[in-house]
Each structure stands twice: as structure tokens, then as C-alpha cells.
Amino acid sequence: MNLALDRGLSLLEHLAAHPGGLPLALMASELDIPLSACHRLLGDLQQRGYVRQARKQGDYVLTTKVVSMGLGYLSNAGIVDIAEPLLERLAQKSGELVRLSIVDEDRLTWIAKAQGMRQGLRYDPDMGMDARLSCTASGHAWLLTLSDERALDLVTRQGFGSPADYGPKAPTTVKALLGFLHAARVRGYAMIDEVFAPGMSAIAAPVLRRKDAIGVISIAGPRIRLTPARMHELAPALLAAAAELGPISNASSLFGRPPLGKG
């Protein structure tokens, strides 16, 4: 890849992980880009409207242009129109946060959501993030459709989530992760409790086209409400929604690319 392009994309990705903004010198240091080159690239991105300075000589932050591009792409791809009724129906039934993620090569990205609980404690992470495969219900739901070898390859490349950053029960070893996956395969869906975040639980099922996973639908919420018994109770509705979305996903270009195989 062209060096300048690679560095420019790295800057955008780094700023996306720091919504409060970052100073020039820190970005240059963290990304190992010469200070002068980093300043030049940020100036180019600023001219194109992708970044701005919070104040004169201040930290650099992303603008909403990247968000606008992403939302425009999802809208044009038709996935919102296709998935929205299914997600809303499941959100109303569960009273919790329902999310759709899509498989894109070796990534699983949350792209749409519906919130069933309008009052009280809510769990509502940002869209557009890649799921941590080792410690999210969505990640486990995708991995359960793959061989152990392929699943471990994907997790190894992304890295295991640390309990300090996720939940106290986040798996940090191959043995622990495979335990989650083998149990999920028996059930046909993934379940986690204080794995992705303290005090939170989630259930997820893969969206299949033929035998390959092209996405995942999940339900997440506070474990005080989303107990194991409640998750098992919601499982049939979750599986039905995933089964319904699979065949109609052909109507969206977002699902048009061939999914990864099981090998």
C-alpha cells in the first residue's frame, strides 16, 4: 500500500478510537509517523473535511464526514430497510438492545440496532465498532459456525480481550474460548454473562446464507433483567429472526460479497 495512504488511514482509525481528540505529537509518536509527515497528512485530511482542530493549535478530532459516509452507504445498501422491522420486533419482545452485525472478511461489525427499553437502565454501545470476537456474544455466534482452527485463527489475529477492559469472565485462553464455542454449538446460539462487560449479559445467533454466516443478531442488557432463564426464553424468537433475515439478505448489496467458508 502507498505509504502516505496507509498513514492517512491509520490516523483516521486512531482518531476514531479517541473521540475527544489527540494532539499532533502524541499521534505521531503512537503511530510511529515522523512529526512533519503527520502534520502534513492531518492538514490534507483537514482540507478534505475529515478532521478538524478543536481549537487553534489544539487537538485533532474527526468530523462527522466519515460517519455520514458510513450511514449513507448503509442506507444505499438497503440493509436498514430490510433489517429494521425484524430488529424492532425483537427489541419490543425482549425490552433490551438488539443489534445486527455483518461479517466482512475477517471482521464482524455492528451496523444497526433497536432499543426496546425506553426507560430505566439501558445498555447502548456505539455502532460501527468491530466486535471483539473472543468476548462478545456476537463474536461467539459467528465463531460457532466455523471450525475450531478457523475460529482460533481469527481470534489470534485480533487478540484476546482482557478482563480489565471487558468483563471479569472474558476468556483469555484457547481452552476457555473453545469451552464457550462448544457449548454454543450445542445450543445453536451464543450466551455470555459478564464476559463483554461487568453486569451485562447477551445472547446472539448467526444469520446464515446456506451454511455460511453473513451476520449476527444479538440481544444484550443488564444481567439483573437478562438472566440465563430469560435468555433461554428469548432464544426461539432470536433464532426465528436470524432465520428470517438470512433468505431476504440477498436484497441488500451489503450482504452481496461471498462470506468466508468454514475452513
> Are residues 54 and 108 both part of a single domain?
no
> Are residues 230 and 104 both part of a single domain?
yes
Which pLDDT score is estimated for 117? 67
Which of residues 25 and 261 earns the better pLDDT score? 25
- Whole-number Å distance between alpha carbons of 128 and 110: 5
Note the pLDDT tens digit of each residue in 44-96.
999 998 999 877 778 999 887 876 676 666 655 556 667 788 899 999 999 99
> Are residues 87 and 33 both part of a single domain?
no
Domain at 133, CATH number: 3.30.450.40
Residue type, 56: K
> What residues contact residue 17 under an 8 Å CB cut-off, 6+ apart?
none
Please determine, for residue 165, whether its predicted confidence score (pLDDT) is greater than 70.
yes
pLDDT above 90 coverage of the chain, percent: 57
User: What is the count of structural domains for the chain?
Assistant: 2
Cell 471483539 belongs to which residue? 132
Note the pLDDT tens digit of each residue in 234-259.
999 999 999 988 876 665 545 554 44
Which H or E run includes 197? none
> Are residues 101 and 29 both part of a single domain?
no
Q: Is residue 56 a contact partner of residue 40, using CB atoms and an 8 Å limit?
A: no
Asked if residue 148 belongs to a domain, the reply is yes
Domain at 42, CATH number: 1.10.10.10
CB atoms within 10 A of CB 73: 13
Q: Is residue 204 a contact partner of residue 219, using CB atoms and an 8 Å limit?
A: yes
Full DSSP string of 128-178: TPBP-TTT-HHHHHHHTTS-HHHHHHHHHHH-PPPTTTS-TT---SHHHHH
CB atoms within 10 A of CB 150: 16
> Are residues 87 and 153 both part of a single domain?
yes
Which pLDDT score is estimated for 138? 96
Which pLDDT score is estimated for 106? 86
Domain C-terminal end among 20, 40, 63:
63
Which pLDDT score is estimated for 248? 67
Which of residues 123 and 204 earns the better pLDDT score? 204
Please tell me the least confidently modeled range out of 49-58, 172-181, 184-193.
49-58
Which of residues 198 and 130 earns the better pLDDT score? 198
Asked if residue 229 belongs to a domain, the reply is yes
> Are residues 226 and 149 both part of a single domain?
yes
Mean per-residue pLDDT over the chain, rounded: 85
> Are residues 23 and 145 both part of a single domain?
no
Residue type, 253: S
pTM: 0.71
> Are residues 84 and 59 both part of a single domain?
no
**Residue 178 belongs to domain spanning:** 75-255
> Are residues 107 and 229 both part of a single domain?
yes
